[in-house]
Amino acid sequence: MKSTPARMRQILLVTVTALFIALLAPPPCGAIAPVERFVLPNQLVVLVSEEHSLPFVTFELLVDAGARRDPSQKGGLANLTAESILLGTKNRPISEVNEILDHMGTTLKVSCGWDFASISFRSLKKELEQGFALFMEALTEPAFPEAELQREKQAILGSIQSAKDDPMDTARKEFRKIVFVNSPYDHPVEGTEESVPLLTRERVKEFYEAYYQPGVSILAVAGDITVEEVKEKIVPGLTLWKGKKVADTSVATKFAEGPKKSLIDRPITQANIVMGHGGIERSNPDYYAVSVMNRILGGSSLSSRLAEVIRVKNGLAYSVYTAFHAQKYPGTFQLVLQTRNASAGEAIRLAIGEMERMRKEMVSTQEIETAKKYLIGSFPLRLNTQSNLASFLAQAEYFGLGLDYPERYPSLIRTVTREDILRVARQYLRPDNYILAIVGNQQEIKIP
């Protein structure tokens, strides 16, 4: 077949596009440049990783101001505060902020989780000076305009309402509501239909002034910038961020005792199941053994013990998986699956059986080696873009993992033994003490 000019242009375009995409990722994990860490006089921790393959610079500011700091009956305040950071400054309305960002091709976004909030900034190197100035203006001089704040609240309430149509989301929230007796994680990050309307501009300002402080923040910088340039061009602006001390908080976490079951009736064909119990905190020394154990049990929806028994052998579910949500304070262990309403009881019985088997029998050598190989092999994906790298560095600092964590991680996984797996399964899996939340057709579901 002859190659027409149009065909040749198409081939050239595909080739150039593929090469460009390949350039977007920084070098593999082992090739990452050393990370420079320093602490400013205002106690802001700064981390810098040079990566010069593309002319971009990425900032990730992590602030210890997540939803776990929400006051009682004010769920969603941390999230609303984070979202409101970008609703305009004391000098510029939101329209002008967005216009400047669009003109520079710069991105500025926020997010909020249970532990921390993040402000992410990405800019071309040539636009860094102006972009950083806008980043600092948004961070230190938010206006919290009433009209924009009300629109944001309505958008959040709309999302909460829409989520009710998702049966799995409903099951997850029901599980969380039951499993936590006393915990800073006992409510949705976004809040509820009852709590969000109670959030006022005054409350948002109070939360911002209390927790958006440099002493509880971490700035990770990754990309086409040197440590010297950061100290010369970025640090002077950062030192102008004056702060005050944030009081340490002590949290006592208590989980519900099971078994407890909650069935929410919906006229649907699938049972959406979330079951589990209390879990571990990220600082738990057993975290790595638990990670390997979880991978074998249900960490993969296609190649775990649960997938083999429930999906492959019995054809009861297309996807089934487990996860330990390890956070600053103890999170949860969750087993999640979807199956036909009539199969719910059998799927739950099989899942409990696999948890019990994990507690009674040593895993095979092949199972543990396969799990370790996956965890070690997939680790570099956490660092494969500037944004991922900056986010990873900030979180590694937050959880106290150390600057050499990427180098140490493989050995932390390799040293886990079969005996370790049996020990942590017996300690952290509780198949007789589970919380079960199901959303499905009540008339068709028969649970043990």
pLDDT band at 7 (very low <50, low <70, confident <90, very high): very low
pTM for the complete prediction? 0.89
Residues 179-227 pLDDT 10s = 999 899 999 999 999 999 999 999 999 999 999 999 999 999 999 999 9
Q: Please report the domains of the chain, with CATH numbers, ordered by start residue.
A: 32-239 (3.30.830.10), 255-402+409-440 (3.30.830.10)
Instruction: Write the DSSP string, 145-179.
Output: -HHHHHHHHHHHHHHHHHHTT-HHHHHHHHHHHHH
Residues 19-55 pLDDT 10s = 333 334 444 444 467 899 999 999 999 999 998 999 9
Beta bridge partners of 265: 440
Residues 273-315 pLDDT 10s = 999 999 999 999 999 999 999 999 999 878 899 999 999 999 9
Taking residues 118-125, report their average pLDDT.
Answer: 97
Residues 54-105 pLDDT 10s = 999 999 999 999 999 999 889 999 999 999 999 999 999 999 999 999 999 9
Q: What is the pLDDT of residue 260?
A: 96
Taking residues 240-250, report their average pLDDT.
Answer: 87
Taking residues 265-271, report their average pLDDT.
Answer: 97
Number of C-beta neighbours around residue 368 at 10 A? 20
